[in-house]
Amino acid sequence: MFDKNKFFQTDLVCPVCKAKFKQLKLKTSAFRIKTRDIDMCNTYEGINPNLYSPVVCPECGYANLDHSFQNNLSDVVITLLQKELPKSKLYKIDVTGERDYVRAIDAYEQAIYCANIAGHSASLLAGIYFRMTCLAKSFGSSDEDEYRQKAIEFYEKAYDHEEFPLGGKMSQTLVEYMIASMYFKLNKLEQAIYWLNFSISRDPKGLTDPKAHAMIKELWMTVKSVIKNK
């Protein structure tokens, strides 16, 4: 049952069509992190905030993650989006209100559609697919591993071609951990071991990010235990 007291509305302006609209946002008091899995996906008490992470303009269908939605776009990108968005799934469809899993995935897919047109960074696409992975996991969807594999693909692209910290937040060691842990969850142990060894060899004392380095070492012990018991 929808509880409006757990939400508030924020005013937004679409960077593509300049439409003004209100977006439903979840209050921080409406959820609590219960546990965090080895792949950094959280289990929540209350409402899963990943349901509301993507923002979609109800007028033109432009979509992005909430923290990037109002970023400026070049005139060339705006023109491309204005041409392609009328062909998209959520063109002139309002998903600014309450969402279930299916509606949230629609919004994420719209964000991917827009990111590909706009040429957004691989790290942004990785973040989208990572959130989709965690959302699918929390709802028991069979799409979880498919999204996880796509997240790996774009984290690896970002690792090779973007500057650290990714998105101004993610250290090199943390990205190495993210990739290794997702390979581990896919039971691709050879690839997980490669990234763990690489990370430890690159920064054996963990000077880049001590917290992430400790996570790398802990994951390495877990992988060794799995291999030993096979």
The mean pLDDT value for 154-166 works out to 97
The helix (run of H) or strand (run of E) holding residue 31 is: strand 31-36
Q: In 3-state terms, what secondary structure has residue 150?
A: helix
**Structure letter (DSSP) for residue 59:** T
Average pLDDT, the chain: 96
For the segment 164-216, what is each residue's pLDDT rounded down to a tens digit?
Answer: 999 889 999 999 999 999 999 999 999 999 999 999 999 999 999 999 999 99
Closest CA to 20 of 69, 46, 77, 58: 58
CA distance 196 to 166: 19
For the segment 69-110, what is each residue's pLDDT rounded down to a tens digit?
Answer: 999 999 999 999 999 999 999 999 999 999 999 999 999 999
The mean pLDDT value for 117-136 works out to 97
Phi then psi dihedrals of residue 181, to 5 deg: -65, -35
What are the Cα distances from residue 32, in Å, to 44, 47, 49, 66, 168?
5, 8, 10, 19, 25
116 — alpha (psi -120 to 50), left (phi > 0) or beta?
Answer: alpha
With a CB cutoff of 8 Å and minimum separation 6, the contacts of 135 are: 48, 50, 51, 101, 104, 105, 108, 141
CA distance 120 to 146: 21
Place of tokens 């929390």: 138
pLDDT above 90 for 4: no
For the segment 28-48, what is each residue's pLDDT rounded down to a tens digit?
Answer: 999 999 999 999 999 999 999
pLDDT above 70 for 1: no
pLDDT above 90 for 3: no
pLDDT above 70 for 157: yes
Residue 170 CB coordination number (10 Å): 22
